[in-house]
Structure 1
Amino acid sequence: MKEKETRGFQSEVKQLLNLMINSLYSNKEIFLRELISNASDAADKLRFRALEQPDLYEGNGELRVRILFDKDKRTITLIDNGIGMQRNEVIDNLGTIAKSGTKAFLNSMSTDNVKDNQLIGQFGVGFYSAFIVAEKVIVSTRAAGTTYDQGVYWESTGEGDYTIASINRPERGTEITLYLRKGEEEFLNELRIKNIISKYSDHISLPIEMLTNINQDTKNKADNNEDKKDVVIGNWETINQANALWTRNKSDISNEEYKNFYRHISHNVNEPLIWSHNRIEGKQDYTCLLYIPADAPWGIWNRDYKYGLKLYVKRVLIMDDAEYFLPNYLRFIKGIIDSNDLPLNISREILQNSRITQSLKSAIIKRILSMIEKLAKNKEKYNSFWKNFGIVIKEGPAEDPSNISIIAKLLRFASTYCNSDQQTVSLDEYISRMLEKQDKIYYISADSYAAAKSSPHIELLQKKGIEVLLLFDRIDGWMMNYLTEFNGKLFQLVSKADLNLDNISQENVAENKEIEKKAWEPFINRVQSYLGNRIKEVRLTNRLTDTPAIVTIESNDMTTQMAKLIVAAGHMKPEIKYIFEINPEHKLVKLAANINDNKIFNEWVELLFDQALFIECGTLEDPNKFVRRINNLLTNITTTT
């Protein structure tokens, strides 16, 4: 060995290894799935790079992964002849985790719950799962295209540091040897290993070979031979089918095989909710196998989140994260696209601007939306889907206007009809319950379900039996800027002014509005004069029953929720001029109207206005001043009665 040194793991790796070593992981066998998956990826990378550099095959283009175990030494070894690694790549890949959200990921795990945590592979740290069963791991590797003396040796017991050195290695690729802990003897059993491979890796197109029928005498000789891998000590038996699953006929693929392939590409032990496998021939020739996960992929909100579509061209993996085929609102989809029309040497830049890419993207989107529509027919499954991906789907109306009618049908909302914060109401269901004279879909947007449900803006609507959609996700205000109608029914935000609700019910809210308006005109003018340009206008309202006043906006003005989104994005707070609507039937309003003292009158106006702003915005610029004003007015009422 040359250039031998001991290096410390990145702190996040130390924490992860501690969890691996000290936990009782309930699904230990996944270590083999993860290591085989890594070997498959290494083969795919070599195939792709060899398109332009055939010499990388070094005279041996038969890619495979081999597995052998030694009961005496208590070792299991995986050997691939894929792309391999150079020294700096070993340090980067095995000593650090270069991914945002690392801290959050590790904080979500503990030695108590890691046994049930399914995120190991999803987070891209599958290699470290070896330490679930191994007390020591040794890696020997050489990158394709490098000389034999540029091999790299890596060794660690997972206790804070690792040893790395330069070695001579004739073969390209990577060899990983696991020295098993006591109690892990099951993984030294030939039948057990075969069953694991069949369970998790049967679909992998790379042949997985296992050394069977070992001749012990020959093996003993091989152990003392530096070139022991060239000594035939048994038979190499191919365990898996070794052909790409998506190339097979659907009728020949079992549901379990589809599920296992999903587990392979998603690094997720859970089953998918639904999948779609299609071969398309005609103007375009391609195969796609698409999955909707049962749970949200880790890091879906991170900036460096990798899309889950793998792009193949004529069975050659071109790209792991083919973001060009998915819009953001469908980024949770997992699967593969295999095109016969794209060139093998296509670059990311050409791919991004390719007409074939755009056509494929359009077709893939429609197929995914069709899958989700199918899923929606099962309410239980769709409720689970919506809890995981509803907020992501809500990005759709803004991002994909060409499919907005389909996306709108897939949206789910909480509403006053259900008396629950669960978003289960479809727009079709809402329309089916609309009153005879109702011509709009009414909704309220707030910071929380409780705030939306108790909003005074919906008091009259509830009194008249009109259902109101309750929107309380941060994205809702932005989404509704793009969702203006559904099936010919306009959406109406109830916090906007000039709602004409009288035609919905035979009830006449105000028997003589003109007389009422004239009687209250001096009061309205007095309030308007005091508040001045702080408000756009002061009006009487008949939409309230239990609330003295609210603020509203004109139909074309920016909403409060949209303004909050702008602030959350780091921009200056937009100024909103509200309309101050006052309920003439409320006792506090009548009390204020009879006050002659301007100072006290102004205090009451401030109180009513602050209440209305607090209801609309959820906050006040000076809450302490608001509380003092209430206390002063209460004290004044108490001393004068």
Structure 2
Amino acid sequence: MTAHVEQREFQAEARQLLDLMVHSVYSDKDSFLRELISNASDALDKLRLESLRNKELDVDTSDLHIELEVNRDGRTLAVRDNGIGMTREDVVDLIGTLAKSGTAELRQRLRDAKQASESDELIGQFGVGFYSTFMVADRVELLTRKAGESEATRWVSTGDGTYTVESVDDAPQGTSVTLHLKPEDAEDELHDYTSEWKLRELVKKYSDFIAWPIRMQVERRTPPADEGGEETVSVETQTLNSMKALWAKSKDEVSEDEYKEFYKHIAHAWDDPLEVISMKAEGTFEYQALLFIPSHAPFDLFTRDAGTGVHLYVKRVFVTDDCDQLIPRYLRFVKGVVDAEDVSLNVSREILQQNRQLTAIRRRLTKKVLSTIKTLQSERPQDYRTLWTQFGAALKEGLMSDVDNQDTLLRIASFASTRGEDELTTLADYVQRMPEGQTQIFYATGQSREQLLKSPHLEAFKAKGYEVLLLTDPVDEVWTGSVTEFDGKPLQSVAKGEVDLDTEAEKAEHEAEREEQQKDFADLLTWLKETLTEHVKDVRLSTRLTESPACLITDNFGITPALARMYRASGQVVPVGKRILELNPKHPLITGLQQAYAQRADDDSALDETAELIYGTALLAEGDVPEDPARFASLIADRLARTVQ
């Protein structure tokens, strides 16, 4: 038979196209092996399907596999499969995709694939990913024979402007891609693709769960048995991938130890998982998921660069280990795998596109994780307590970002409160315990439980026996500004707005007293407001203080100083309005100040200093510091000096 050889030229912009493929679309040249193994896996899948469809197809499917062959001396790496193979026309159509679609059209498609909301390429499409081989090879040879056909085809290119296609007589069924690797770089040992350990590493990382065995012949050297003898060299065939897709199995088929081992492998963790979540979806689009809730928070959970922990596979081919489109950021502590059938990817399989499948998978995974936490809360309270202690602060981020699941998050959330030192309470339990007449859910935000319990803002609530939630995570300052109520009960900060805890009967009883107090202190309040005008917007009598002389209050919709500090730390500049100074009309300091003010001289600097001291102590009582600490310390020292003279 006369070989039918063709030499073809790439179109004019082939060099630029190959350069775009190698340097722009692919971010890591290691990905070439993933592409070749994925293509081989697809070929094996297609052969198995075709053998079931076509009973007349005379093929042996008893040992379908992928093989890697290395020649270190010749610097070649071959990836072979005994799958469906290709005809000459297939090679031209598929491998020639770049040649056929060269020029500006394909270049634009490649650029669009990194930005557009939909992609033209699906994982497993051979032609484009195949060209990633030119990242590592100077010359690429492809030899293929389609199952059931006698004629084979060889395709050869150096990627420099031409390629050849020829027919050959003698070739095994399937496809072999041989890479003539670029010269070895002594300083780049991490990319030595003739190294056994490197190939093992890449197969483990990208293709460990491919359904077909990936084999490689390796040399094993045995030391001599006797001194002076010679070592023996043997060659054995090893399977490099585990082929254990645990997510494709039901929980009954997988042991607890297997789950633990798999979790530690994908999460690079040392702890055991707190809970295992297995999911399988069928219908319009299919996917399987195996998720883990850890028992300990990673050290970087709250760092800006912390990624999500969900690995994405498509048809058991690894795509990414940080797929932030599959899980919301507030669930970034969840680890696991999602294996999808029809997720659209760009040509490099590295940049996911927003599409209906991903959105739906994300929505379902989120609801499943939250429902699992809800089950832990009701059925395994100790495990739930562990989860909330480790990840509660992250989960509360969802109260701001996930409106659809806000109510669920509020119901699975737990908070410390004034009820008990070691107890946590849900909002539902808090509401159930609310005494008759209480219409709001009260909370306090601060740096620690100890600080909050000493806060003057809590005095009236303690006196009335009202329970107050104690919120000490930084995120609490933020989400409480966007969540206004739970089950129809408004959330109210004890440090914001006006507070009146009196019953209707008590209001009538205290009305005359308060009117008298307002009349007695009117002049003092006006003077204090003028004296402290740089610091406060108003001065008023308080109904929330029982022991302390004064406290500072933020308007209901104002920004607290703690929240303002958080914004500044993140680089955002926010205006912070002045706050309101509330005075306790029954405290000796305030009553004494009122009498001193009534008897004041025209220029009484001592009274002005007292006003500053009251304001400064109010700041200190809530854990803040005066604007001018040195001056405040000087005023305190002067007053103390007078008391000891």
User: Which TM class, normalised by the smaller chain length?
Assistant: 0.5 to 0.7
- Aligned equivalent of 1:613, options 612, 619, 644: 619
2:275 maps to 1:274: yes
CA contact (8 A) 2:273 2:292 kept: yes
Instruction: Give the structure 2 partner of residue 319 of structure 1.
Output: 320
Instruction: Give the structure 2 partner of residue 285 of structure 1.
Output: 286
TM-score calculated relative to the size of structure 1: 0.66
Deviation at 1:295, TM superposition (A): 1.2
* C-alpha distance 53-622 of structure 1, shift in aligned 2 (>3 A): farther
Q: Mean alpha-carbon deviation: is it higher for 288-297 or for 608-617? A: 608-617
Instruction: Give the structure 1 partner of residue 264 of structure 2.
Output: 263
Instruction: Give the structure 2 partner of residue 494 of structure 1.
Output: 494
Deviation at 1:402, TM superposition (A): 0.8
AA paired with 2:629? P
* C-alpha distance 151-61 of structure 1, shift in aligned 2 (>3 A): farther
2:610 maps to 1:604: yes
Post-superposition Cα deviations, 1:452-473, rounded to whole Å, max 9, x if no partner, equal: 1111011000111001111122
Cα distance in 2 for residues equivalent to 1:248 and 1:304: 33
Instruction: Give the structure 2 partner of residue 416 of structure 1.
Output: 418
Q: Mean alpha-carbon deviation: is it higher for 46-55 or for 245-254? A: 46-55
- Aligned equivalent of 2:383, options 361, 381, 386: 381
Cα distance in 1 for residues equivalent to 2:302 and 2:577: 30
Deviation at 1:567, TM superposition (A): 1.8
Q: Mean alpha-carbon deviation: is it higher for 537-546 or for 277-286? A: 277-286
AA paired with 1:471? L
Cα distance in 1 for residues equivalent to 2:297 and 2:456: 35
CA contact (8 A) 1:288 1:337 kept: yes
Deviation at 1:204, TM superposition (A): 8.6
Cα distance in 1 for residues equivalent to 2:455 and 2:196: 71
Instruction: Give the structure 1 partner of residue 335 of structure 2.
Output: 334
* C-alpha distance 576-345 of structure 1, shift in aligned 2 (>3 A): closer
2:47 maps to 1:47: no
Instruction: Give the structure 2 partner of residue 425 of structure 1.
Output: 425
Instruction: Give the structure 2 partner of residue 70 of structure 1.
Output: none
1:6-45 mapped onto 2 (5 Å cutoff): none
Cα distance in 2 for residues equivalent to 1:173 and 1:350: 24
Cα distance in 2 for residues equivalent to 1:63 and 1:474: 52
CA contact (8 A) 1:496 1:553 kept: yes
Deviation at 1:304, TM superposition (A): 3.5
Post-superposition Cα deviations, 1:325-352, rounded to whole Å, max 9, x if no partner, equal: 1111001111111112224666679733
Instruction: Give the structure 1 partner of residue 180 of structure 2.
Output: 147
Cα distance in 1 for residues equivalent to 2:279 and 2:504: 49
Post-superposition Cα deviations, 1:463-520, rounded to whole Å, max 9, x if no partner, equal: 1100111112222111111221111111001111212211388585565211221122
Instruction: Give the structure 2 partner of residue 480 of structure 1.
Output: 480
Cα distance in 2 for residues equivalent to 1:165 and 1:638: 75
Q: Which runs of 5+ in 2 are unaligned?
A: 1-27, 45-62, 70-76, 81-129, 137-176
Q: Mean alpha-carbon deviation: is it higher for 435-444 or for 588-597? A: 588-597
Cα distance in 2 for residues equivalent to 1:317 and 1:504: 66
- Aligned equivalent of 1:174, options 195, 199, 203: 199
Cα distance in 1 for residues equivalent to 2:484 and 2:335: 31
* C-alpha distance 49-63 of structure 1, shift in aligned 2 (>3 A): closer
* C-alpha distance 542-529 of structure 1, shift in aligned 2 (>3 A): same
Instruction: Give the structure 2 partner of residue 529 of structure 1.
Output: 530
CA contact (8 A) 1:496 1:552 kept: yes
* C-alpha distance 504-626 of structure 1, shift in aligned 2 (>3 A): farther
Deviation at 1:318, TM superposition (A): 2.1
CA RMSD after TM alignment: 4.4
Cα distance in 2 for residues equivalent to 1:240 and 1:166: 20
CA contact (8 A) 1:50 1:56 kept: no
The count of aligned residue pairs is 489
Instruction: Give the structure 2 partner of residue 101 of structure 1.
Output: none
2:632 maps to 1:630: no
Deviation at 1:300, TM superposition (A): 2.5
TM-score calculated relative to the size of structure 2: 0.66
Cα distance in 2 for residues equivalent to 1:399 and 1:295: 24
1:363-374 mapped onto 2 (5 Å cutoff): 363-374=364-375
Instruction: Give the structure 1 partner of residue 15 of structure 2.
Output: none
Deviation at 1:297, TM superposition (A): 2.6
* C-alpha distance 448-218 of structure 1, shift in aligned 2 (>3 A): closer
Identical amino acids, percent of aligned pairs: 31
Match of 2:352, SS?
helix
* C-alpha distance 491-48 of structure 1, shift in aligned 2 (>3 A): farther
Match of 2:532, SS?
helix
